[in-house]
A and B are shown apart, each in its own frame.
Chain A
Amino acid sequence: MTTQFEIQGLKSSIEGKEILKGIDLKIKGGEVHAIMGPNGTGKSTLASALMGHPKYEVTDGSVTLNGEDVLEMAVDERARAGLFLAMQYPSEITGVTNADFLRSAINARRGEGNEISLIKFVRQMEGKMKELEMNPEFMHRYLNEGFSGGEKKRNEILQMMLLEPKLVILDEIDSGLDIDALRIVAEGVNAMRSEDRGFLIITHYQRLLNYITPDYVHVMMQGRIVKSGGPELAQRLEAEGYDWVKEELGIVDETVGQA
């Protein structure tokens, strides 16, 4: 069965302030959706709310992955159901090596009694790290500790590759990446494109979309998706900025919280 991810009327607030004001979006396996928009319009909130960050309260709406109610699930259950969020600011965790962490994550998904063998795991991890042009030494480093911005982002993509999720959300994966790192990350994502995997790419620059061609582009403003289109929409935004969208829709201030 191909992946079906559906968001309906999603509203979310942080500390009592409503940020998402009703999001509707359907992503099927094989599709790449890009969400674009200026800063402060709710893009990252959408990513965090979908993953279940404890600070974001969902006040209305539904999210389903292959018919299963995602909002009912705890964060780890969402991950095991096939949701993956490459974070904008991944945590650094002292004392937990990258390898130990990844093995725990893989085994959590495989379940007890079905753990991956150490040899197989190391082989997989080494292979994927090579594809991402990561220094093998990063396997034994503490998770994200002392990693540069670009190294953290590659490490997020490494996790995505090893965990093989059904629905991938990339939250500003391109921020802080130089052009080489951007290419490597994009190649990693492209290698993972498949019929049973959907992508939601959040970015406010078009440059990532030069490497990963989206099927659909959505513009977010004021906590809503205000415009959708094909890849040509991203190109127009890159060339002309967001002002024409605001003008077309009569929006003065695109950020959340201003009517």
Chain B
Amino acid sequence: MSTPTTSFGRDAAAAISRSKNEPAWLVAQREEAGQLATELNLPKPEKLPLTRWTLDQYGVSRPGKNVAAVSELPEAIKALLPEENGSALIVQHNSSVIFTQLSEELKAQGVILTSLEEAARSHEDLLRKHFMTAYAKDEHKLSAVHAALWNGGVFLYVPRNVTIEEPIQALLFADDAEATFMPHVLVIAESNSRVSFVEQVASSLGETTSTLLHNSAVEVFAKSGSLVQYAAVHQMDNSAIDISYRRAILDNDARIEWIVGDLHNGNSITDTKSVLKGNGSTSDSKIISIGTGNQRMSLTTQAVHFGRSTESDMITRAVMKDESTAIINGITKIEKGATKANGQQTEKVLMLSPKARGDANPILLIDEDDVKAGHAASVGQVNADQVYYLMSRGISRKEAERLIIHGFLDPVVSEIPLKGLREQLHRILERKLG
């Protein structure tokens, strides 16, 4: 086996592209990105230096083994599936997508669910028009690396006026720390469509000296009047780094709901951004996180208002334990001309350890007069009066604190659209908070 790549450039990226039989424009895009990756700097998250992070182990391509049925999936993956008989499921194992299932009913309605690699061949036009347009390859070094090396991935297309009742499930799983694991999720929701997408990122790396770099991206295009609910739960081993840039572009009257559990056990940078381009578009972001051990996290939510009468609400809640650090940024930007826009944000941090650190940075950037904007941020410990109140009913201190801490995260947990995933989330919380 070849050793994990520690550096690469234009040629290496092109080689990947050709090996996958990709169209010329995509080959060129990977080449350019590969070049950019050697030139651009790392992003500079607020108050969180990345100098000691291992961000240059890109791994090698280790495709998983394709399977024909859910029953043939590796046990570790099957155990993570919230609902076995969903109507739509796609699974990435290390460097490739190994399973896709879409009900005949949805296919008949024109819904497309494939790996992104497959979409590059079978739905080239749609892909070319959208891919890496919300998340630019020249934003910084990490976006360039992603654009050069992305693999597997998910392509979901929902035709106009189609409502998908059951959530579409994606499971992105790695058990090889030396694999390149850089999925890209592309969701296109046409006018007046409705879809709920549930993404799980998990790993089972065992003992390893390598660092798995999950350098991922999500791009959602919500066309006029569409509603996209995007739920994500990330829970990888602490030897993995989670880089997750999420972007949504909203046309007139479109709506996105982000429901995110950034519950990774290692270092992470996540950035969840809604661009409210169309008039009357709305965005609702709810993010929870739990810091454990000595993990470092940068959690950013952003809303950029261009359209008139656009509304955004962003809530981030984090529980910080041990010696963990989380820098939580909320950025509401209202551009000139976005009259009657309303942008609200709240960041709340619950500190459970004197050695933990949690910073909340609410930022409002407003270039228009006729708008509403607001923010609230708090960093504090478990409220003593609440503990007293619960104890006065006979509940032990330990149980009272447990109830309060879980309750702190519940406003997000309770909105996860799949019952099975919600229960799984409760187990993750029990484990991380335990």
Q: Which A residues contact B (CB, under 8 angstroms)? A: 51-54, 74-76, 78-80, 84-85, 87, 90-91, 93-96, 100-101, 104-105, 108-109, 142, 159, 163
Q: Which B residues contact A (CB, under 8 angstroms)? A: 383-386, 388-397, 399-400, 403-404, 406-411
Q: Which A-B residue pairs are the 5 nearest by beta carbons?
A: A95-B407, A95-B410, A79-B394, A91-B389, A105-B393
Q: Which residues in A have their C-beta under 8 angstroms from that of B406?
A: 95-96
In the complex, A35→B399 CA distance in Å? Answer: 33
Given contacts A96-B403, A101-B403, A104-B403, contact A90 B396 (CB under 8 A): no
- Whether A159 and B393, one on each chain, are in contact in the complex, defined by CB atoms closer than 8 angstroms, is yes
- Whether A75 and B403, one on each chain, are in contact in the complex, defined by CB atoms closer than 8 angstroms, is no
18 contacts between A and B (CB under 8 A): A78-B392, A79-B393, A80-B394, A87-B392, A91-B383, A94-B411, A95-B404, A95-B407, A96-B403, A100-B403, A101-B403, A104-B395, A104-B403, A108-B393, A108-B394, A108-B395, A159-B393, A163-B394
Q: Which residues in A have their C-beta under 8 angstroms from that of B391?
A: 74-76, 79
Residue of B nearest to A75 (CB): B391
Contact of B407 among A51, A78, A90, A142 (CB under 8 A): A142
Q: Which residues in B have their C-beta under 8 angstroms from that of A93?
A: 386, 389-390, 403-404, 407
In the complex, A85→B388 CA distance in Å? Answer: 11
- Whether B395 and A96, one on each chain, are in contact in the complex, defined by CB atoms closer than 8 angstroms, is no
Of residues B384, B388, B411, which shows the largest number of chain A Cβ atoms within 10 Å of its Cβ? B388
In the complex, A75→B384 CA distance in Å? Answer: 12
In the complex, A87→B384 CA distance in Å? Answer: 15
Q: Which residues in B have their C-beta under 8 angstroms from that of A96?
A: 403-404, 406-407, 410
Q: Which residues in B have their C-beta under 8 angstroms from that of A52?
A: 392
Residue of A nearest to B407 (CB): A95
Q: Which residues in A have their C-beta under 8 angstroms from that of B409?
A: 95
- Whether A79 and B403, one on each chain, are in contact in the complex, defined by CB atoms closer than 8 angstroms, is no
- Whether B394 and A91, one on each chain, are in contact in the complex, defined by CB atoms closer than 8 angstroms, is no
Residue of B nearest to A160 (CB): B393
Residue of B nearest to A145 (CB): B407
Contact of A79 among B384, B392, B407 (CB under 8 A): B392
In the complex, A78→B394 CA distance in Å? Answer: 7
Q: Name the distance in Å between B217's Cβ and chain A's nearest Cβ.
A: 31
Residue of A nearest to B405 (CB): A95
Residue of B nearest to A102 (CB): B393
- Whether B411 and A87, one on each chain, are in contact in the complex, defined by CB atoms closer than 8 angstroms, is no
Residue of B nearest to A95 (CB): B407
Q: Name the distance in Å between B316's Cβ and chain A's nearest Cβ.
A: 15
Q: Which residues in A have their C-beta under 8 angstroms from that of B389?
A: 87, 90-91, 93
In the complex, A87→B389 CA distance in Å? Answer: 9
Q: Which residues in A have their C-beta under 8 angstroms from that of B384?
A: 54
Q: Which residues in A have their C-beta under 8 angstroms from that of B408?
A: 94-95
Q: Name the distance in Å between B399's Cβ and chain A's nearest Cβ.
A: 6
Residue of A nearest to B385 (CB): A91
Given contact pairs A78-B392, A91-B390, A108-B393, a sample of 12 additional A-B residue pairs in the complex whose CB atoms are under 8 Å apart: A76-B396, A91-B385, A93-B386, A93-B389, A94-B408, A94-B410, A95-B406, A96-B404, A104-B390, A105-B395, A159-B393, A163-B394
- Whether A76 and B395, one on each chain, are in contact in the complex, defined by CB atoms closer than 8 angstroms, is yes
Residue of A nearest to B404 (CB): A93
- Whether A109 and B394, one on each chain, are in contact in the complex, defined by CB atoms closer than 8 angstroms, is yes
Given contacts A91-B386, A142-B407, contact A85 B394 (CB under 8 A): no
Q: Which residues in B have their C-beta under 8 angstroms from that of A142?
A: 407, 410
Q: Name the distance in Å between A50's Cβ and chain B's nearest Cβ.
A: 10
Q: Which residues in A have their C-beta under 8 angstroms from that of B385?
A: 91
Q: Which residues in B have their C-beta under 8 angstroms from that of A53?
A: 388
- Whether B383 and A76, one on each chain, are in contact in the complex, defined by CB atoms closer than 8 angstroms, is no
Residue of B nearest to A91 (CB): B389
In the complex, A76→B393 CA distance in Å? Answer: 7
Q: Which residues in B have their C-beta under 8 angstroms from that of A105?
A: 390, 393-395
Of residues B400, B407, B410, which shows the largest number of chain A Cβ atoms within 10 Å of its Cβ? B407
Q: Which residues in A have their C-beta under 8 angstroms from that of B386?
A: 91, 93
Of residues A53, A85, A163, which shows the largest number of chain B Cβ atoms within 10 Å of its Cβ? A53
In the complex, A78→B391 CA distance in Å? Answer: 9
- Whether A75 and B388, one on each chain, are in contact in the complex, defined by CB atoms closer than 8 angstroms, is yes
Q: Which residues in B have their C-beta under 8 angstroms from that of A91?
A: 383, 385-386, 388-390
Contact of A51 among B392, B396, B399 (CB under 8 A): B392
In the complex, A90→B383 CA distance in Å? Answer: 13
- Whether B388 and A74, one on each chain, are in contact in the complex, defined by CB atoms closer than 8 angstroms, is no
In the complex, A142→B389 CA distance in Å? Answer: 14
Residue of B nearest to A162 (CB): B393
Q: Which residues in B have their C-beta under 8 angstroms from that of A54?
A: 384, 388
In the complex, A104→B390 CA distance in Å? Answer: 9
Q: Which residues in A have their C-beta under 8 angstroms from that of B394?
A: 76, 79-80, 105, 108-109, 163
Given contacts A54-B384, A104-B403, contact A95 B411 (CB under 8 A): yes
Q: Name the distance in Å between B433's Cβ and chain A's nearest Cβ.
A: 13
Q: Which residues in B have their C-beta under 8 angstroms from that of A51?
A: 392
Q: Name the distance in Å between B414's Cβ and chain A's nearest Cβ.
A: 8
In the complex, A20→B88 CA distance in Å? Answer: 67
Q: Name the distance in Å between A78's Cβ and chain B's nearest Cβ.
A: 8
Residue of B nearest to A100 (CB): B403
In the complex, A159→B393 CA distance in Å? Answer: 8
In the complex, A104→B402 CA distance in Å? Answer: 11
Q: Which residues in A have their C-beta under 8 angstroms from that of B407?
A: 93-96, 142
Residue of B nearest to A85 (CB): B392
Q: Name the distance in Å between A257's Cβ and chain B's nearest Cβ.
A: 24
In the complex, A15→B194 CA distance in Å? Answer: 58
Given contacts A76-B395, A76-B397, contact A101 B390 (CB under 8 A): yes
Q: Which residues in A have their C-beta under 8 angstroms from that of B400?
A: 76
In the complex, A74→B407 CA distance in Å? Answer: 23
Residue of B nearest to A89 (CB): B385
Residue of B nearest to A96 (CB): B407
Contact of A75 among B383, B392, B404, B411 (CB under 8 A): B392
In the complex, A87→B393 CA distance in Å? Answer: 11
In the complex, A85→B407 CA distance in Å? Answer: 23
